[in-house]
Amino acid sequence: MIPTVGDYVTPKLVGGKDGVMIANAIQAQFGKASNWPLGAALSVTTMVIVSMMAGATVLVIRALQRLAR
């Protein structure tokens, strides 16, 4: 999960400064803007969304496995 949502170096190297990714926005809130509450809220929201998507994927795969039997 950390490489998925915490990768903020690659977008800067590949896309330049114009592209805004969620990890870049979180880093900016903690670093340049010194807005820790917003940075924390973005971090928690991202973790919840990624966890929900992973959980839904697991449920779908299990349901498909039951149907295949």
Domain ranges for the chain: 2-68
* Whole-angstrom distance, CA of residue 13 vs CA of residue 32: 19
pLDDT > 70? residue 1: no
Phi-psi region of 26 (alpha: psi -120 to 50; beta: other; left: phi over 0): alpha
pTM (two decimals): 0.71
pLDDT tens for residues 12-40?
666 666 667 787 788 889 989 999 999 99
Helix 22-30, helix 36-68: angle, nearest 10: 150
Contact 46/1 with Cβ under 8 angstroms?
no
